[in-house]
Amino acid sequence: MNLNDILELDKRDSLAYKRDQFVLADDLIYLDGNSLGALPISARDMAARIIEKQWGQDLIRSWNINHWIDLPIDVGEKIAPLLGAAPGQLICCDSISVNLFKLLATAMNMRRERRIVLSQQDNFPADLYMVQGLSQLCGSQSCEMKIVEESNIEAALDESVAVLMLTHVNYRSGRIHDMQGLTRLAHDKGILVIWDLAHSAGAVPLALDDWQVDFAVGCGYKYLNGGPGAPAFIYTAKRHQDQVRQPLSGWMGHRSPFSFEPEYRAATGMGQFLCGTPPIISMGVLAASLVVFEDVDMPVLREKSRRLGEIFLQLIEDDERLGELLLVSPAQSHDRGSQIAFSHPRAYAICQALIDHGVIADFRAPDVLRFGFAPLYLRYRDIWKSVQILSDIITSGRHENKKYSRQQKVT
């Protein structure tokens, strides 16, 4: 594969026009859309409208006239088609962690005769922390976490397990779980399943309804491009919504919040997952970001995502100077989400050197270099150029410069 082939791919890319819907410097190669999505122009414009017109002029009236009160449901419904979910099963609110707490409590309450939450050793740690928090609060007699290696998950699905909690696409390796198969195996044992879609939503086609998924959470700021710390979402299958009993019973989740009744009565449907007043600016920006997806066919997007990853990997494998990079991700693109990771003893320094040379990737402790491919705004030539720069850095030993040694708080 040479540069001409690459340029030809760009020419034939049916999603190429999408890049113009984002604010992105032409010379920046952004391989971190899996951590923070780029800024859609629609989001930038909406931010100005929310601030200057809705807050600045309409003020408190905006709850009605600009429909702030409907935002959590509206944003949920905009995300639903990307997940293969019929209307009435999604809501946008709080963070993934807070939402996991609500779902864990709900699911444990639906399986009161059991007490085990099963998860995977290398799940995103934050998800495990939330189980630990619930367990410490309620006592291990009513909630206990059990974590196993990925290869032992199926064997561990037995009648002692109340809830299986997994992340669909692993945050480090990008490995994809068989959501449909694992959900079915869990259901066979009477186990409820909570899926974390942080690295799936907006990158991988999903069919939550068809796969009989019970519950899911996901975040707005990765492939959905909703802005830093954008609110998260919750999916709860229609069939479970009458059994929700979530402990963060704030006023926005009340059946009639503005009646100011002293007793909590949960709203029906997804509204009952709301807690406090939502961060309207962040949520309104996420709503506007989702406009970018309106004409996107998810299988087409997935196809480009796979192709970007395959070419990236092939270019690296073809370059013998990059032999020190050990592939951490699955070798086949159908087993991966929209990211590829390598381990390298100097991963941190390489990541810093890449950033200095206009290629933004990220580092995950202890030694992982992670590259994300957001198909809405990445070009094939970005992939080509990023491998060239990576090769130059490693060949020249530029990452050995001591200015790239570990110092920063966040990477």
**According to CB under 8 A, which residues from 20 to 79 bind a second copy?**
23, 25, 28, 30, 32, 35-36, 38-39, 43-44, 47-48, 51-52, 54-57, 59-64, 68-69
CA torsion angle 279 282 286 288 (round to 10): 110
Task: Mark residues 326-345: x for contact with a second copy by CB under 8 A, - for none.
Answer: --------------------
CA 100, CA 72: separation in Å to the nearest integer? 17
- Is 153 a binding residue for a second copy by CB under 8 A? The answer is no
Whether 221 is a known active-site residue: answer: yes
If the CB atoms of residues 146 and 184 are measured against a second copy, the closer one turns out to be 146
- Is 248 a binding residue for a second copy by CB under 8 A? The answer is yes
Whether 102 is a known active-site residue: answer: no
Whether 112 is a known active-site residue: answer: no
CA 72, CA 275: separation in Å to the nearest integer? 11
- Is 137 a binding residue for a second copy by CB under 8 A? The answer is yes
- Is 117 a binding residue for a second copy by CB under 8 A? The answer is no
- C-beta separation of 267 from 254 below 8 A: yes
Whether 222 is a known active-site residue: answer: yes
If the CB atoms of residues 97 and 160 are measured against a second copy, the closer one turns out to be 97
Token pair in block for residue 59: 């003020």
Stated as kind and residue range, the H or E segment containing 274 is none
In this chain, which of 275, 313, 315, 340 binds a second copy, going by CB under 8 A? Answer: 275
Strand, coil or helix: 347? helix
Stretch that binds a second copy, among 120-128, 189-197, 317-325, 378-386 (CB under 8 A): 120-128
- Is 169 a binding residue for a second copy by CB under 8 A? The answer is no
Q: What are phi and psi of 377, to 5 degrees?
A: -130, 0
CA 387, CA 102: separation in Å to the nearest integer? 43
CA 82, CA 93: separation in Å to the nearest integer? 17
Q: Of residues 80-109, which lie at the interface with a second copy (CB under 8 A)?
A: 94-98, 101, 105
CA 329, CA 309: separation in Å to the nearest integer? 11
Beta strand 339-343 pairing with 368-372: antiparallel
Q: Where are the beta strands (DSSP E) in 222-298?
A: 232-236
Q: Which of 22, 221, 363, 373 is catalytic?
A: 221
Apex CA 354: angle with CA 349 and CA 359, to 5°?
150
- Is 285 a binding residue for a second copy by CB under 8 A? The answer is yes
Task: Mark residues 194-213: x for contact with a second copy by CB under 8 A, - for none.
Answer: --------------------
- Is 243 a binding residue for a second copy by CB under 8 A? The answer is no
- C-beta separation of 289 from 40 below 8 A: yes
- Is 14 a binding residue for a second copy by CB under 8 A? The answer is no
Least CB distance from residue 400 to a second copy, whole Å?
22
Whether 370 is a known active-site residue: answer: yes
Stated as kind and residue range, the H or E segment containing 395 is helix 380-396
Q: Which of 13, 196, 362, 382 is catalytic?
A: 196
- Say how many residues touch a second copy, by CB under 8 A: 90
Q: Which residues are catalytic?
A: 124, 196, 221-222, 370
